[in-house]
Amino acid sequence: MDRIYILLICLLVTLKAAPNTELTDGYYVNVSGADSIQVESSGDQLTLSLENGSRINFNMMNGKYRYKKLSSDDFLELKIESDNKFRLIDNNDSVGMYSLYRASSFFNKLIAILVSSALLFSVFQAYLKLNKIWKRRKIEEVANSISIVASLLGFAVLFPFLMNQLFITNDYPSAGKSLIGLFLAALFSLISIGYFVESNRGKGVFKLLMGALSAEKSESTDLLSAMMRPHGARKIIDILTKLAAIDDDIAQEEIDLIEEFADRWHIDIPKLKEGKPEEITNLVELKALVQSYLDEKPDLDVASNLVDLINMMAEADDEVTEEEAMAVGEFTGMINNYINAEEGGIMDVFEVVIVPQNQDQIQAVKELMPSIESVQERGGTIFKVGLFYSEDYANAVCAKYITLGLFTNSLKVISEENTQ
């Protein structure tokens, strides 16, 4: 029993004599109040976050919190005076006494926990990014879709940050995220040069890298060009302007749409006024303008976008008239025929023919359309008025000549452009 009392007394004496080595987390200031430091504790480590963003980690060594200087073999020591006060010592000289002025709140601790868990989330995020592309790494189109320059820039950006986080700020969670980024940059670089593509087996990494850089150089301005004025932009604006007046009334919504694209492409246009247009749109002239635009061989993507623009223009005022519907059908048909022809596809068109019933009608057609020669087909003389790309438009043309007493019909044929 006496031994138990002696042990208890010794324990109490030891506890009383032992200094309190736990420093309260929070914000500390020096005696003058001019310097502020945030202190965070984690096991046998104390982390000091300075005002300039640097982080210094003091680790427990032989019962003391010490930090090894980068420039020498000396140590900077952190001596805990109490749970809310500490001193920094350099070569046995005190360089500052700091006192707690605000402890870390629950919100600060929550942020610290979230920052720590962010590294785990970064690993999971990197896995998800890589998982989708890794399964397709052997596909050449996938390799070509990844920018080798962007992947290489990842090294140039992340490596300095990694060095700073490891040796200057001692921000190890951020260093972990930078390492993950460098790992992804390395893998994406290999994929982008086609290293895993079967057809590239046997080729060296340097040769693949030079090939990828050369290909990227030729494609580097594609996005910039697409964002700028497309080929034939002036004619596109003219087409939209004439289309807006096709129903003999220009709506404000149509004006807004035209001006939006004119401003985007830096094209000066006359001031458009809502209501009755100053110039009546001639369908034949508008069709000739669309054909003139297609004769310039625009990119297929740009031509396809023009189809969307024409439809947007027709629907801008929430009212599509019969004239607009017919014109839209014809012009979108022309553009789709152009796209099909460029891609080697086949598309039906409608040919309008006049079949005179006697010599008087033959003479009348010659006087009406002197530029059209008669041909002998289908057991008689016929006049081919032209090819049209929508059935409604072709029927409207037929109706025009039928009202003149001429037998007219539209025939579905395969466009000659697609069979050449």
HEC readout, 237-306: HHHHHHHHCCCCCECHHHHHHHHHHHHHCCCCCCCCCCECCCCCCCHHHHHHHHHHHHHCCCCHHHHHHH
Q: What would the two tokens of residue 11 be?
A: 């324990």
Residues 329 and 368 in one domain: no
Would you give the distance in Å from CA 367 to the centre of its chain?
A: 59
State the total domains in the chain.
4
Contact 53, 167 (CB under 8 A): no
Tokens of 265: 């492409």
pLDDT at 307: 85
273 occurs within a structural domain: yes
* Average pLDDT by stretches of 10, the chain with 420 residues: 52 44 87 84 87 82 86 86 92 90 77 73 88 90 88 86 80 84 92 92 90 78 57 86 84 87 84 83 81 88 84 76 81 88 81 89 85 82 87 86 87 62
Same domain, 238 and 336: yes
User: Does residue 382 form part of some domain?
Assistant: yes
Is there a domain that residue 74 lies in?
Answer: yes
pLDDT at position 6: 54
Rounded CA separation 228/91 (Å) = 64
In a domain, 21, yes or no: no
Using CA atoms, how far residue 102 sits from 7, 82, 212, in Å, is 40, 15, 56
Q: HSE on the CB side for 65, CA within 13 Å?
A: 23
DSSP 321: -
What is the chain's alpha carbon radius of gyration, rounded to the nearest angstrom?
Answer: 40
> Does residue 194 lie within any of the structural domains?
yes
181 and 236 inside one domain: no
Where does a domain end: 194, 219, 244? 219
352 lies in the same domain as 306: no
Q: Is residue 263 part of a domain?
A: yes
254 and 325: one domain? yes
User: CATH number, domain at 401?
Assistant: 3.30.70.1070
State the burial class of residue 227 (Cβ atoms within 10 Å of its Cβ: 0-12, 13-18, 19+): exposed
Q: How far is it, in rounded angstroms, from Cα 23 to Cα 31? A: 18
Interacting residues of 7 by C-beta distance below 8 A, sequence separation 6+ = none
pLDDT at 112: 67
Can you tell me whether residue 52 is helix, strand or coil?
Answer: coil
206 plus 241 within the same structural domain: no
Domain that includes residue 165, residue range: 117-219
Closest CA to 264 of 239, 238, 237: 237
**Amino acid at position 303, single letter:** A
For residue 13, is it within any domain?
no
Would strands 93-103 and 85-90 be described as parallel, antiparallel, or unpaired? Answer: antiparallel
What's the CA angle centered on 68, arms 67 and 69, to 5 degrees?
A: 115
